[in-house]
Amino acid sequence: MGFLLTLLGLGLAGTLLLAASPFILFYTGKSLVNQKLNPFQKQNDQFHQLPHKSKDMLHQFTASSLFATYVNQRQLSDQAMSILFLAKDKPNQLLFSKMLPKDQSLQIFEYLKKNKKIKSQAIDETVLEIRSLLFETIKQDKQNKQAVMYYYFDELYQDIQEINSMKNRVNGGIQIQIQQMIDKTLTLLPYFEEYQLFEMSHKFKTLIQKDIKEALQLFHSIEPTHHSRAEKEAELLIIFKTILTEMNDMEKQLNEQNQDELEKKFRFLKTKFQLNQEQ
């Protein structure tokens, strides 16, 4: 009797397995196809699940012309290339890897194959590497606003986005002034860093992070039909004009200081050259 029950049990198990085999094959096949099409899905998921403040910056940076320049000039490490690959939109990852020279694409593949777990440390190191490249780019061209924007991305990007949204509800004159203040801030910050003018750097960052937003919030709190709105709008124009004048004066002073230092260096080189000739 026991033997018959065992046979019956085995037969039933076999029947169930046979009935379930199409589903097993389907899901196994699907898993294999997904692994073939997205061999780094696990790393992708890990990257996007990490609570890291710089992920947005990395994502935005991968769509920039600066990123393309650094890639073409092979200035990025294997780790940075791989982390930036993960930071791209998934539909663009395959296209990006196909556009790369074979050896660079292979470097990404090898890094991700070796590092199956993506850690915050890898993102930190990638951000530091990019900021280092951006700093060198800014040293060569302080007017490169794209490089400045990404260099200060974590500090200023979200605030600038908020200001851009808020400024659409004020008149055109104020909108122009706000954009000029943002542009001037991005132009001046590299000079402040170079000359270690930390108080000025803090002052101008605060302008973006707090002052402009608070002024706009105060203005928007006035009902559009209220009689004082036009008066406050005129006051805002005067305040922003005063700030812009201060910014322009500061830029002029820094440019003159920079020019004076350049002339001193040329005079030194000229004197040194003449002394060498006499010897």
Give the tens place of pLDDT for each residue, 62-116: 999 999 999 999 999 999 999 999 999 888 888 888 888 888 889 999 999 998 8
> Residue 245 and residue 81: Cα distance in Å, rounded?
43
CA distances from 187 to 60, 104, 149, 224 (A): 20, 34, 10, 34
pTM here is 0.73
Res 6: pLDDT = 52
What sign for the dihedral angle of Cα 227, 228, 231, 236? negative
Q: What is the mean pLDDT of the chain?
A: 81
Q: How far apart (Å, rounded) are the C-alpha atoms in residues 36 and 29?
A: 10
Give the pLDDT means over successive 10-residue stretches in the chain (279 positions): 48 50 40 48 88 92 94 94 91 85 90 90 95 93 90 93 91 92 92 86 93 91 82 90 90 75 54 50
Q: Judge whether 126 and 58 are in contact, CB under 8 Å.
A: yes
Give the number of other CB atoms < 10 A from CB of residue 233: 15
What is the residue extent of each domain of the chain? 42-143, 152-278
